[in-house]
A and B are shown apart, each in its own frame.
Chain A
């Protein structure tokens, strides 16, 4: 199980979701992906995308304009 990061800064939604989706498609079940964005909309959209597609958000935080969301790849 590996950990990856994805820089989605300055992208506006839904681009961070699309980048997350495309990256997750390359990963294996149980891998984690840390997505860093600046559009706070990602705080809603990435978890919604995960719920729909069977992945899990294991942490999310906001710090000085950076939003960091960690996704664990599910087997759906």
Chain B
């Protein structure tokens, strides 16, 4: 009897669970390829590459690393535009911070489902574990993902399959349910044991989740961005800039993004056509972007704050160059703002 080799696509986040889930299915003779969705919020690269001090450490993209460990192809899909709606209007709301995990997982599985239909694959694998995450990985929410994504019984979660109703690949005998797993809860021990059994080392173990939206500080900066604009929207540049520099909002209508070191200053300088900038000239100091429309009084305030973060912070006067978006510059002299006047509430 000739049996066709079944094909599955595995959602690869770069963490251990998706690595193990894909491996468990490969062990059963299924052809597996990986898919990774880039939302703009993923904890990959960026900031590590921006900061000069981090450049010495080789950074890797964990999803690519996982695919290489597994010896499978990886398709990386840019979903930045479509994902905005998930972040801005999640129908199931947010988790602890700005993380719309349930909508996010549903969206990714839906995209994977479209992908298998277009590419003639048979089913979808995720590394979800029942009870592991408070929002998306609960007994009552896991069926929501299967249903709302449209994937239904083509969605296999190998790490906790034995706790869930049999999926089509199990019913059809493409997968042996007995060789799938019954992990549950927040413990990581079974995953670590399985990793050892498969011979995986040096895998990534993201703490909070797979993206910046689970980070309290980052979420606060998004909330500030929306509040100041009076509407909930963002562009890729906005969310990239939220990962860089010191963010200070001295007045409601403008925010300063101040580079913390050379790498960040270089990165920020790439935005000189989109933002007015301030650079200290009499002393070594940061590059500051001004987000918002400013008048002369605001510019002076911005310059004093920037000067506070320069080598001239204790000098009587610091000279700075202000350049508007059109590239027109002027030099101004200001008194660096004393720390005592830097309002805590300005820190975003």
Contacts and interface: CB of A to CB of B under 8 A. Distances in A.
B213 interface: no
A21 B266 CA distance: 27
Contacts of B44: 13-14
A18 B49 CA distance: 17
Nearest to B50: A12
B60 A21 contact: no
B68 A40 contact: no
Nearest to B74: A52
Interface in A24-56: 39-41, 44-45, 48-49, 51-54
Contacts of B60: 44-45, 48
Nearest to A49: B64
Interface residues of A, number: 21
B194 interface: no
Contact of B78 (A18, A52, A53): A18
B303 interface: no
A48 B73 CA distance: 11
Contacts of A18: 38, 76-78
B68 A45 contact: no
B55 interface: yes
B46 A17 contact: no
Interface string B246-270: 0000000000000000000010001
Given A18-B38, A44-B60, A48-B64, A12 B240 contact: yes
B73 A13 contact: no
B73 A14 contact: no
A44 B58 contact: yes
Interface in B190-247: 240
B134 interface: no
Interface of A: 10, 12-15, 17-18, 21, 39-41, 44-45, 48-49, 51-54, 65, 76
21 contacts: A12-B45, A12-B46, A12-B50, A13-B45, A13-B61, A14-B38, A15-B38, A17-B61, A17-B76, A18-B76, A39-B45, A39-B49, A41-B48, A41-B49, A41-B61, A45-B45, A45-B60, A45-B61, A48-B68, A51-B68, A52-B72
